[in-house]
């Protein structure tokens, strides 16, 4: 899993924003004209990273695969996050408690499973779609066979080089030998995605049937064209049934389930979903990120650190001064102090200050944000430390 994370691009991801001709006045709640995005005081709303959950319906209606696709700005690149179907998630609705992702899918359907997957990854899932063997065959048919190399035999596919025909893809992705855990299957799913995406990129828009400007066509093409990566969600193994994990449709093999690894999850999300939104209210710290220097690259650099620390950047722009010496994390109200302190620690222990509402529109909080981060010339050094 660490190797998969290292393979993800380490380059800064471009920031996509809306409202490029307006600047937010956080106390009055109106908009004022500004000359250009490089002017002091300019602010704009950040466009969240587009996300789609792809859920595979296997034999008997059980969940056989769960993947979160994320696109970079302009649909040029992205990532495929592979999530074990036996990942422990929060069970919504009257049942409450915990269950595996597969059990949520069996009991509550695809929409509930997509939402639960988003909570496990700490990323809101904007869209979801289901695929079965027939749909996989249609999706892969334009590129023909997909070649993978297997370390061990699984089902009808022997160890060694295997050429999967389109109608074999669905059964192959769902296959799991007796005694295997969901991570064994996940490794083979990663092999498939890593082999299929380059074929799609080489074949162009006709490599995915149907609509390519929306839905799964948009996501698969966008990820493939930018050389996107397929990487498994970092998880920890846990033995023993959890909630419905051992029951019908729970999908747990040998009673083994998995939980997201909190120690690795933040950096993983920052690499794969650079501008996430919170899957449920309060799950992420809402941040306004203002650059107080003329180094535009600082914004993306720091945004990644903030996202890794559990933030979502909702507003980005420039401070009222572009010659700030010291980075500051500002908050309004005692209930936001712990959030500001946490993010300041993520940025190397920078200064934290409380700003009374309405006294300084460059840092005052409003109903859309929890914390304002103003970057100074020390920002890059702080992150390095």
* pLDDT one-digit tens code per residue, 194-242: 999 999 999 988 999 988 889 999 999 999 998 889 999 999 999 866 6
CATH of the domain at 334: 3.30.70.2390
pLDDT bin (cut points 50, 70, 90) of residue 357 is low
Range of the domain at 282: 25-47+275-384
For range 268-281, the mean pLDDT: 95
Where residue 215 falls (left for φ over 0; alpha for ψ -120 to 50; beta otherwise) is: left
For the chain, report the end-to-end CA distance as a whole number of angstroms: 25
For range 257-272, the mean pLDDT: 96
Structure tokens at 256: 């083994």
Residues 183 and 83 placed together within one structural domain of the fold: yes
Q: 233 lies in a domain?
A: yes
| Number of domains present in the structure of the chain | 2
Structure tokens at 177: 């030998």
Cα–Cα dist 369/286, whole Å: 5
Enter the pTM of the model.
Answer: 0.86
In this predicted model, what pLDDT tens digit does every residue of 124-141 receive, in sequence order?
999 999 999 999 999 999
Residues 119 and 251 placed together within one structural domain of the fold: yes
**Cβ–Cβ contacts within 10 Å for residue 66, how many?**
29
Position 95 scores a pLDDT of 54
Residues 39 and 103 placed together within one structural domain of the fold: no
In this predicted model, what pLDDT tens digit does every residue of 161-193 receive, in sequence order?
999 999 999 999 999 999 999 999 999 999 999
Between residues 4 and 289, the one the model is more confident about: 289
Position 246 scores a pLDDT of 40
Report the share of the chain in percent with pLDDT over 90: 73
pLDDT bin (cut points 50, 70, 90) of residue 251 is low
Position 133 scores a pLDDT of 98
Position 38 scores a pLDDT of 85
Position 156 scores a pLDDT of 94
Query: What is the residue-averaged pLDDT of the chain?
Result: 86
Q: 266 lies in a domain?
A: no
CATH of the domain at 233: 3.40.630.190
């Amino acid at each position: 899993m660490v190797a998969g994370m290292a393979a993800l691009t380490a380059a800064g991801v471009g920031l996509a924003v809306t409202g490029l001709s307006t600047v937010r006045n956080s106390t009055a709640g109106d908009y004022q004209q500004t000359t250009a995005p490089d002017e002091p005081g300019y602010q704009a709303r950040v466009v969240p990273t587009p996300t789609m959950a792809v859920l595979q319906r296997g034999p008997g209606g059980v969940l056989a695969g769960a993947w979160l696709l994320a696109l970079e700005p302009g649909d040029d690149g992205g990532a495929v996050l592979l999530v074990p179907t036996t990942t422990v998630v929060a069970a919504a609705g009257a049942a409450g408690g915990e269950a595996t992702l597969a059990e949520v899918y069996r009991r509550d359907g695809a929409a509930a499973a997509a939402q639960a997957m988003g909570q496990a990854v700490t990323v809101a899932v904007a869209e979801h779609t289901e695929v079965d063997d027939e749909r996989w065959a249609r999706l892969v048919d334009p590129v023909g066979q997909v070649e993978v190399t297997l370390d061990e035999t699984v089902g009808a596919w022997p160890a060694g080089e295997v050429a999967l025909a389109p109608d074999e893809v669905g059964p192959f992705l769902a296959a799991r030998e007796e005694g295997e855990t969901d991570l064994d299957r996940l490794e083979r799913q990663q092999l498939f995605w890593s082999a299929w995406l380059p074929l799609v990129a080489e074949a162009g828009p006709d490599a995915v049937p149907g609509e390519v400007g929306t839905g799964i066509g948009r996501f698969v093409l966008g990820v493939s064209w930018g050389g996107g990566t397929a990487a498994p969600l970092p998880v920890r193994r846990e033995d023993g049934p959890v909630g419905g994990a051992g029951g019908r449709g729970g999908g747990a093999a040998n009673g083994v389930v998995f939980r997201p690894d909190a120690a690795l999850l933040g950096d993983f999300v920052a690499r794969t979903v650079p501008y996430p939104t919170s899957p449920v209210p309060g799950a992420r710290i809402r941040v306004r990120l203002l650059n107080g220097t003329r180094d535009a690259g600082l914004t993306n650099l720091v945004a990644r650190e903030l996202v890794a620390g559990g933030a979502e950047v909702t507003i980005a722009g420039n401070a009222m001064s572009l010659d700030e010496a010291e980075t500051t994390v500002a908050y309004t109200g005692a209930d936001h102090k712990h959030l500001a302190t946490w993010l300041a620690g993520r940025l190397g222990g920078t200064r934290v200050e409380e700003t009374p509402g309405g006294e300084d529109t460059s840092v005052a909080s409003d109903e859309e944000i929890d914390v304002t981060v103003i970057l100074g010339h020390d920002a890059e050094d702080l992150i390095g430390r």
